[in-house]
Amino acid sequence: MYTVFAYQVSSLIQVREGKNNFKWELLFSDSDELFYSYSKEKFIYIFQYGMVSFFNMTTNEINAALDEIKPFCKDFFSDKISEDVQISIQPNTLKVEFEKVILPEIDEEMVRLVMLNASQSVALDNYSEITEELLIETNQHTLYLENKGKLDISGNKLKRFIGKVLNIKNKISENLYIFDSPEITLENEQLNKLNHDLKQSFDLKDRYRLIHDRIEIIKENLELFKDIMDHKESSKLEWIIIILILVEVVDMFIAKLFF
Q: What is the pLDDT of residue 90?
A: 94
Q: What is the pLDDT of residue 257?
A: 64
Interval 192-230: pLDDT, tens: 999 999 999 999 999 999 998 999 999 888 888 887 776
Q: Over 80: is that where the pLDDT of 238 sits?
A: no
Kindly state the DSSP code that residue 106 receives in the 8-state scheme.
-
Q: What are phi and psi of 85, to 5 degrees?
A: -130, 130
Distance CA 30, CA 25 (A): 15
Interval 43-52: pLDDT, tens: 999 999 999 9
| 121: Cβ contacts below 8 Å, ≥ 6 apart | 6, 83, 202, 204, 207
Q: What is the pLDDT of residue 250?
A: 65
Name the pTM for this structure: 0.82
Query: Are the CB atoms for 193 and 102 separated by under 8 Å?
Result: no
The pLDDT mean for the chain works out to: 87
Helices of type H across 149-203: 155-175, 183-186, 189-202
Q: What is the pLDDT of residue 174?
A: 77
Interval 37-80: pLDDT, tens: 999 999 999 999 999 999 999 999 999 999 999 999 998 987 77
Instruction: Dump the DSSP string for 37-48.
Output: EEETTEEEEEET
Average pLDDT of the segment spanning 82-108: 92
Interval 152-193: pLDDT, tens: 877 788 888 888 888 888 888 877 776 677 888 888 899 999
Q: What is the pLDDT of residue 167?
A: 86
